[in-house]
Structure 1
Amino acid sequence: MNNIFTDTRLRSEIRQGLAKIGFTKPTPVQEKVIPAMLKGESVIVQAATGSGKTHAYLIPILNAIDEDARYVQAIVTAPSRELADQLYRVARQLRDNSGLNIAIAHLAGGSDRDRQIARFEQNEPQLVIATPGRLLDFADKKILLLDQVKNFVIDEADMTLDLGFLADVDKIAARLPKDVVMSAFSATIPVKLTNFLRKYMAKPEEIVIDNPAVIAPTIKNDLLDIGSKDRKKIVYKLLTMGQPYLALVFANTKQMVDELADYLTKQGLKVAKIHGSITERERKRTLREVRAGQYQYVVASDLAARGIDLPGVSLVINYEIPKDLEFIIHRIGRTGRNGLPGHAVTLVREEEMNRVGALEYMGVHFDFVEIKDGALAPRTHYRRRDNRTAANRQLDPHMKGVVKKIKSKRKPGYKKKIKQAIQEDNRKKRKIEARHEMRHQKHLRKRKREQKR
């Protein structure tokens, strides 16, 4: 098979740019997506985090942009400011290394809107990377014109759905030209998302990149039963046993992120923290400092699991198992990227073993370990089999009924139906939690404005 990175359908500048940034062998998703998009086909792509989806669509998009035509020709949406910022940096890197004269705009909430408008009007971009809310705002105010857009990409489409931004994307998509090439990239494709995409895509090419291992084979994924020991002390011990290039510690709540970061700082570690309540300016500054190597340890909420890409993460520690079990996959996936070795350690107590069983049911494999002589050593958990069996008994009453109903029919694929039902229930709960969190943040902002008055 010909290497798509050297295909003559790509402009020579882009081929040279890919070589400069070390892109010599395409990933499976790039091998399938780039040729399809070069032919002008709409695609729906399901592939795991870290599979190379971003370059899979940015390469053909930049290839198709007419440098002499000064209007918006392509739009990429991302569900969070951090993701949009990450995509913007990747797009600029590819453009600059290719020597292309293409203007790229980054539109996201949390940044100075007036400054974004001034930049937009001063140099109208050909590629726009934006969050749905800010993109719709610019379209409503006629600052951004959609009538000549050729390519429209929805990145992290499942997260866009979960966070409630699909309505904004719907309003934008309805205004695009009829011949626009629309594509969607996602780790999962829920039914509601499929129905939305079919509304705008006549015959999209559906590309599914099988991920035989939920956790990449480059990652050593350990489970540490801490018993009655103090979690914070165990985390400190894990961080100081070796010398991780960059360690990322995940906690479930902003309050716990603050507490854990304060504790580790008092132990003499230089720790950065990232969560949703930190101001946009402070978060950007922290990320710049982490990428510059000024921090070896980062404590974060799940904002960093899907929204932030920190290169060089060699160790991930799950201080606790997330409420939404699927998030542990995204957390662990922050390490062992681009074929490099990674290490993840999840702290657990005996009463949480039912959740471990549920994760194993989802395909997450753990190696049980213990701290012995200042290092992690393998061990066998004496109740592993019992707790895995018990996992399905810990479902809430609604899901117990669903599982019982599906099992009673015992038709082919019933296990798959049970798994899909549990995942769909989790998605609904996650959406409700996200809605509550957004309302809470809105209420806090309102109170701050009233206090300033």
Structure 2
Amino acid sequence: MFKEFQFPVFINEALLKLQFQKPTSIQERVIPLVLQGKNVIGKSETGTGKTHAFLLPLLSKVQSQKKVQICIVVPTRELAMQIYEETLKITGCANDFIDVRVYVGGTDRDNEIERLNKSQPDVVIGTIGKIKDLAIQQNALQIHTAEAIVIDEADMVFANSEMEDMDNVFAKFSPQVQILAFSATFSEPILQFLHKYFGKLEVIDLSKKNISKANIVHYFIPTKNKNKDELLKDLLTNMQPYLALIFANTKVKVDEIANYLADNNYRVGKLTGDLEARTRKQMLRRIKEGEFQFVVATDIAARGIDIAGVSHVINYELPNDLEYYVHRTGRTARADFSGFAISFYDFDDDRYLDLLEQKGLKCRYRSLKNGELLPTKERNARSKRVIREAIYEQKAHASTPLPKKIKPAYRKKRNEIIQKKIRKAKREFVSEIYRKRSQKQGE
């Protein structure tokens, strides 16, 4: 229970308002370490309560001092705004005013600098580029006084930033500052960077060996060189999701899908990285208000945004990185709800699917007919058949040389001979299967 952490009164009041009854697994493990001042790396899936795993203990120590005490670094403006809103829900219960400010792109820079020159915030939440601008280039944001730094969605923060920018910003912090970093995955370069600045780190690894949550059903549909737009339309025919996120790998493809669905009378939202701040904010508000049943997005635009009620995730294209498959599908089945992940795949994706299965993902292969997902042969069985038939054809061609003298219709005659050999090879293969079965039954 939360009372074991001995939080101050205002934190307990906030917990009541938030209707938090007991800590999640990551909160149970992380909160005591944060209260002890330890440096922590938290590896956890999305939707596990990691935001409050750092907000609750850090804010319990904050006082109204008009100097930066906490600096929270995030990869996107949407995640910054989301954490800002959650922070205000907690600090709003404090007796004294705790100054919380958010710094992201697309805001009034001159006004921010003018306000910083008058007073410093107690809590800073922002993207690395904006913090670099205000703290280093403008020397307006005094982050050197920070007692704790949080890097949320660390893999995305580092992926979106130049390492030189990270170095410049982190060099401004005190050597005694507390560091907390959270992500579903941590690459070796990120770990090296964190160890370089902060030395010993307590690692809390709650990422499961399985690549996915147990309450997500993963369906995979072969495209078979069909038009993907028509496949998507067929898929959506009988689908009634609460909210479906449709992912593509590029902004161009997102635009194409969104336009296609709109032309077919679907009310569809769109999230891409190039949307202006005001437009993105309006889009998120409309999504949260339930205006759209379908939202098409890129990975960067959707990462770190907490959209409630996602019942389906559709991969129009499989992401290039397996980790992004985890992040995408982790959008659904939040808390105790179930969810569905549906992915289109091509023959070229065989190796990708092999890796997913090796990581423990239970893949259900389906064919799509009139909007229904019908059971089909396992992918490996189909792949083996395709490979086997390719071998038959190769052998048939090799054993059927071209005639020494080219005669009319020789192509047709040669092809008939080749097809006859392929059919014979198939019959022999089937006969061998039945022979082995009969042999086993007779034993």
TM-score with structure 2 length normalisation?
0.81
CA distance in 2, matches of 1:210, 1:143: 39
Deviation, structure 1 residue 119: 4.5
Match of 1:293 in 2: 290
Match of 1:144 in 2: 141
CA distance in 2, matches of 1:302, 1:355: 18
Task: Please list every run of at least 4 consecutive aligned residues from structure 1 whose deviation after the TM superposition is greater than 6 angstroms.
Answer: none
CA contact (8 A) 2:120 2:142 kept: no
What residue ranges of structure 2 are gaps of 5+ in the alignment?
A: 388-443
| Pick aligned residue for 2:367 from 360, 365, 370 | 370
Partner SS for 1:20: helix
Q: Report the structure number with the largest CA radius of gyration.
A: 2
Match of 2:431 in 1: none
Partner SS for 1:339: coil
| Pick aligned residue for 1:238 from 228, 235, 239 | 235
| Pick aligned residue for 1:66 from 63, 66, 77 | 63
CA distance in 2, matches of 1:128, 1:143: 13
5 Å-filtered alignment, 1:217-256, equals 217-256=214-253
Partner SS for 1:307: coil
Deviation, structure 1 residue 60: 0.9
Indicate whether 1:105 and 2:133 are aligned. Answer: no
What residue ranges of structure 1 are gaps of 5+ in the alignment?
A: 391-453
Match of 1:350 in 2: 347
Aligned residues: 386
Match of 1:157 in 2: 154
CA distance in 1, matches of 2:238, 2:94: 43
Deviation, structure 1 residue 66: 0.9
Partner SS for 1:346: strand
Deviation, structure 1 residue 336: 0.8
CA contact (8 A) 1:21 1:97 kept: no
Indicate whether 1:125 and 2:138 are aligned. Answer: no
Shift of the 325–205 alpha-carbon distance from structure 1 to 2, 3 Å rule, reads closer
CA distance in 2, matches of 1:385, 1:362: 21
CA distance in 2, matches of 1:205, 1:19: 30
Match of 1:272 in 2: 269
Amino acid at match of 1:343: F
Deviation, structure 1 residue 374: 4.1
Deviation, structure 1 residue 99: 7.0
Partner SS for 1:154: strand
Deviation, structure 1 residue 377: 3.2
Partner SS for 1:128: strand
Indicate whether 1:82 and 2:82 are aligned. Answer: no
* Percent of aligned pairs with the same amino acid: 38
Deviation, structure 1 residue 62: 0.8
CA distance in 2, matches of 1:351, 1:235: 19
TM-score with structure 1 length normalisation?
0.79
CA distance in 1, matches of 2:208, 2:93: 31
CA distance in 1, matches of 2:273, 2:79: 14
Amino acid at match of 1:92: L
CA contact (8 A) 1:79 1:131 kept: yes
CA contact (8 A) 1:305 1:327 kept: no
Deviation larger for 262-271 or 276-285: 276-285
Match of 2:357 in 1: 360
CA distance in 2, matches of 1:328, 1:182: 28
Partner SS for 1:45: strand
RMSD, aligned CA: 2.4
Deviation larger for 131-140 or 223-232: 223-232
Deviation, structure 1 residue 78: 0.9
Deviation, structure 1 residue 85: 2.3
Indicate whether 1:96 and 2:78 are aligned. Answer: no
CA distance in 2, matches of 1:362, 1:124: 47
Partner SS for 1:37: helix
Post-superposition Cα deviations, 1:15-47, rounded to whole Å, max 9, x if no partner, equal 221232222222211111001101111112222
CA contact (8 A) 1:305 1:334 kept: no
